Structure 1
Amino acid sequence: MSAESAADRTPAQEGRKSRDFRLYWIAGAIDQLGSQTSGIVFPLVTLAVTNSPAAAGLVGASALAGRLIAAPAAGVLADRLPRKRMMVTSLVIAAIAMAVVLVAVASGTATLAVLAGAAFVEGLAQSGYESAGAGSIRRVLPADDKKALSRLEARNHAVQIAGPLIGGALYQLGRWVPFLVDVTSYLLAACFLSAIRTDLTPERTERTSFLADLRNGLRFVWQQPFLRFVTIWAAGINFTFGALIYYAILTAGRQGAPAASIGLILTLASVGGLAGALAAPAIFSKVRPMTVIVVASWAMVALVVAMSQARQTWTYGLLFGLVFLLSPLLGVIFQSRVIALTPDELQGRVGTVMGTSGEILQTPAPLIAGLLVAWYSPTAVALIFAAALALLAAYTTANLRQLRAGTGAPETDDVPGGKEDLPGGKDVPEAQEVSG
């Protein structure tokens, strides 16, 4: 099935897209809510079972290792196999892994090996689900893709607020209860995805080896200037934001702030992200995306500079909320164009390359933040991260202008790079601002 442009769709086709996008949105919300609910208590359960903070860290590392190890294969398979079946299968495997934890914790037989093994398998399954989901998004996006992508951003931030609160409350009822919710959420998400009617099977014109497919995905990202730019930008933002969060938590902790106040920082950051995602469609209808990109990039630098003068927990939280309010605007613009620039048969690999690059660079962020907080004053550390964001903002501004000049795109283009950038002149859906 070729990806038809929004203008070519009949009302019936657009209605199917909207229905399937809602199912995709709901499935992701349920899945993430369950994962956030159990994720907040997984370290607590491990600590209770082993009485070792190092063991709790090992379980977290096992989940990350599963995701990273599976990512290359998952990206290739997402562009080979029927994507809906791959997503459903991945969710079922994750449900089985968490069911093992549920039974072990409820029966009092949990061990470090069981917990770490289940976390590793869940990480493998999540990698498969996310790769197939990244490959499917173009097929289910409604005509107003920026509005739809903003809803996905809002969903993610809302779940980050609600999930930990629900997990903490359920943990008081019983250590096993959050895992029951997680298992149920995986199965419910699989049911919603099964109801999608759009054909999500990737277009595949030729059969090549696994390694050739992997090389083609990496080569495509690197050879497309805009995709290369977004990959580097996303990796830099993930690292800087991850380090900033730990900087604020560690600094507030050293200043004697209570745990509840430190939790406020994370809550306000998520609320800011939710507000930014909800406001994105209105902002895009009034301001050119090119302007949003430049203004938001440099405004985040100014906010982190202001953070260097923060001395109270609520001030950190407010500034983080404003930073996270701006970041979804950039994410929606970039993701919209990435989806449009990537041929259907490469969607899974491109999404996996970008996601994995960001995840790998984010991994050392807590350690680096901790070392900086130990070595330097809070003011100096904040200015170091502000400088990192300034480099990203300069990189963003320079690349966007160069790409626009290189393609001859007019000033009113959404993002630099038009159809002439596409391999083989392939037609793609335009990012239109129409009411949904």
Structure 2
Amino acid sequence: MSVTGPQTPSLWRNKDFLALWGGQIVSTLGTRISATALPLLVLAVTGSPANAGLVGAAGSLPYLLIFLPAGTLVDRWNRRRIMLVSQITACVALASIPVALWLDVFTISQLTIVAFAQGTCFVFYDLAEEAALPRIVPPSLLPSAIAQNEAKGRGASLAGPPLGGLLFGLGHAIPFLTNALSHMVAMIGLLFVRSDLQDERSAPRDSFWNETRAGLRWLWRQPLVRAAVLLVAASNMIFSALSLALVVLARRQGASPAEIGLMLGVYGGGGLIGALVAGRLHSRFSPKTVIIGVNWIWAAVLPVLAVAPNPLSLGVVAAMTSAIGPMWNVVIGTYQLTLVPNDMLGRVGSASMTLAWGVIPLGSLIAGFLLDTLGPVGTILVLALGMLLTAVAATASPAVRHAPPLPAAPAAVHIT
């Protein structure tokens, strides 16, 4: 007779995590495909980088307008239902683009509305998924789960842009139809998740505004997390502008849609490599080292993009910037998921995302303005200067310089 001890917990034996993660792989890939096609469609129809920046801003405007109230609603409403409705709504919105193209009634106004709707669906889904993750994955596996989610997104950033450019070359409607179908696949994956995705709780104990403010207060009282969120906000604004600048610069260099997709795929490939190693390496570096080091590496690499001679070299240099981002996301994400009470995860997550991602529409608008006035090379140099100032701010922050160790388990450490 043999005696077997308890099995070591593993994400790959967690059926609920695999169902959720697998569906999101397909959906995220579809999103990256259509995200590549979106500026190409605007430029093909209007030829205006400013219009491309406007549509990009509409897609990210929900980060500023909706993240904060959505967090409170996620903590009040059924998380599973929120995730399902978000996938269905995004599917319908995206399917309207190929229908309009086939009927020859497509307008930039429609694309702007669809971009805003898709961004709104992302906000609600992302907050609900993040809040549900600790209900599916034990605390000891949270860093690995966050790293796998990073790998999911970065892998989609590797494969999605080349596919987006290729599919757009075959037909302007095809990338958007593909993304619509990908949301259906993610919805089916959700149906296989059996875990209860939220704590048992009574009706809301306070007013909507007071509950929303509670998330903001929690975040603002954590100096390290607060500093990290503000630094992420600065870098997000810079990189949202950089993405459009790279597309415009590649077009100026004579790149085809497929070549632009390949460039963006190489860009995303750096992030995939970083995500694959972040889960193992995050414990070897202090939060201080990660936060300061990442910003200085970005500040050093961005100016090189201005002298890259062709789209492939642009992708390779940009990949250096994306390779180090996952380490930061794992560190900050683990802090948040282990320290925040589960019934506040939606509100605290929405507060941090409002600050960190709410500036992305501004980045898109700034990119359109700079590209029209300075051109792509001048735009990249301005963004590089902004990244240098962000790195200096990270180094000067007392909260970052005195950052405590990363918590190993819930409530193991409190940031004060």
**TM (normalized to structure 1)?**
0.78
What does 1:171-190 correspond to in 2, within 5 Å?
171-190=168-187
Residue 223 of structure 1 pairs with residue 221 of structure 2? yes
Measure, in 2, the Cα distance between the counterparts of 1:113 and 1:247.
Answer: 22
Measure, in 2, the Cα distance between the counterparts of 1:383 and 1:38.
Answer: 27
2:101 corresponding residue in structure 1: 105
Q: Secondary structure at the match of 2:195?
A: coil
Contact 2:90–2:118 (CA under 8 A) maintained in structure 1: yes
Cα 1:392–1:150 shift into 2, 3 Å? farther
1:239 corresponding residue in structure 2: 237
The worse-fitting range, judged by mean Cα deviation, of 335-344 and 177-186 is: 177-186
More relative contact order in 1 or in 2 (CA 8 Å, sep 6+)? 2
Kindly state the Cα deviation for residue 249 of structure 1 after the two structures are TM-superposed: 5.8
What does 1:185-264 correspond to in 2, within 5 Å?
185-202=182-199, 204=201, 206-245=204-243, 257-259=253-255
What does 1:263-282 correspond to in 2, within 5 Å?
266-282=264-280
Residue 330 of structure 1 pairs with residue 322 of structure 2? no
Q: Kindly provide the amino acid, as one letter, of the partner of residue 385 in structure 1.
A: G
Q: CA RMSD in A?
A: 3.6
1:391 corresponding residue in structure 2: 392
The worse-fitting range, judged by mean Cα deviation, of 219-228 and 14-23 is: 14-23
Residue 355 of structure 1 pairs with residue 348 of structure 2? no
Q: Secondary structure at the match of 1:234?
A: helix
Measure, in 1, the Cα distance between the counterparts of 2:61 and 2:399.
Answer: 33
What does 1:64-143 correspond to in 2, within 5 Å?
64-66=60-62, 68-142=64-138, 143=140
Kindly state the Cα deviation for residue 175 of structure 1 after the two structures are TM-superposed: 3.3
Measure, in 1, the Cα distance between the counterparts of 2:380 and 2:54.
Answer: 32
Measure, in 1, the Cα distance between the counterparts of 2:200 and 2:272.
Answer: 34
The worse-fitting range, judged by mean Cα deviation, of 171-180 and 22-31 is: 171-180
Measure, in 2, the Cα distance between the counterparts of 1:287 and 1:67.
Answer: 30
Q: Kindly provide the amino acid, as one letter, of the partner of residue 97 in structure 2.
A: V
Measure, in 1, the Cα distance between the counterparts of 2:57 and 2:119.
Answer: 10
Kindly state the Cα deviation for residue 169 of structure 1 after the two structures are TM-superposed: 2.6
Cα 1:17–1:233 shift into 2, 3 Å? farther
Cα 1:154–1:99 shift into 2, 3 Å? same
Measure, in 1, the Cα distance between the counterparts of 2:109 and 2:283.
Answer: 52
Cα 1:399–1:37 shift into 2, 3 Å? same
- Please, which runs of 5 or more residues in structure 2 have no aligned partner? 1-5
Measure, in 2, the Cα distance between the counterparts of 1:63 and 1:79.
Answer: 24
Which of 160, 164, 174 in structure 1 is aligned with 2:161? 164
1:342 corresponding residue in structure 2: 340
Which of 27, 30, 34 in structure 2 is aligned with 1:34? 30
Kindly state the Cα deviation for residue 159 of structure 1 after the two structures are TM-superposed: 0.7
Cα 1:200–1:13 shift into 2, 3 Å? farther
Contact 1:76–1:213 (CA under 8 A) maintained in structure 2: yes
Contact 1:84–1:194 (CA under 8 A) maintained in structure 2: no
Cα 1:201–1:244 shift into 2, 3 Å? same
Which of 14, 18, 31 in structure 2 is aligned with 1:18? 14
Contact 2:63–2:353 (CA under 8 A) maintained in structure 1: no
Contact 2:161–2:265 (CA under 8 A) maintained in structure 1: no
Q: Kindly provide the amino acid, as one letter, of the partner of residue 16 in structure 2.
A: D
Q: Kindly provide the amino acid, as one letter, of the partner of residue 21 in structure 1.
A: F
Measure, in 1, the Cα distance between the counterparts of 2:233 and 2:380.
Answer: 24
Q: Secondary structure at the match of 1:200?
A: coil
Cα 1:294–1:44 shift into 2, 3 Å? closer
Q: Deviations over 1:86-119 (max 9, x none)?
A: 1011111121222333333333343455444433
Residue 414 of structure 1 pairs with residue 414 of structure 2? no
Kindly state the Cα deviation for residue 386 of structure 1 after the two structures are TM-superposed: 4.6
Cα 1:36–1:291 shift into 2, 3 Å? closer
Measure, in 2, the Cα distance between the counterparts of 1:99 and 1:156.
Answer: 22
Measure, in 2, the Cα distance between the counterparts of 1:52 and 1:324.
Answer: 28
Cα 1:225–1:320 shift into 2, 3 Å? same
Measure, in 1, the Cα distance between the counterparts of 2:171 and 2:332.
Answer: 42
Kindly state the Cα deviation for residue 219 of structure 1 after the two structures are TM-superposed: 1.6
Cα 1:395–1:262 shift into 2, 3 Å? farther
The worse-fitting range, judged by mean Cα deviation, of 196-205 and 348-357 is: 196-205
Measure, in 2, the Cα distance between the counterparts of 1:155 and 1:185.
Answer: 14
Kindly state the Cα deviation for residue 340 of structure 1 after the two structures are TM-superposed: 0.9
Kindly state the Cα deviation for residue 419 of structure 1 after the two structures are TM-superposed: 3.4
Measure, in 2, the Cα distance between the counterparts of 1:42 and 1:247.
Answer: 14
Q: Kindly provide the amino acid, as one letter, of the partner of residue 348 in structure 1.
A: G
Q: Deviations over 1:27-66 (max 9, x none)?
A: 2212111222223334455566x65746655544443335
Q: Deviations over 1:293-329 (max 9, x none)?
A: 5544444444446x38845346554443222212211
Q: Deviations over 1:62-94 (max 9, x none)?
A: 433355433233211111111111101111112
| Identity between Structure 1 and Structure 2 (%) | 29
Contact 2:86–2:124 (CA under 8 A) maintained in structure 1: yes
Kindly state the Cα deviation for residue 173 of structure 1 after the two structures are TM-superposed: 3.9
2:402 corresponding residue in structure 1: 402
Q: Secondary structure at the match of 1:259?
A: coil
Measure, in 2, the Cα distance between the counterparts of 1:290 and 1:45.
Answer: 42
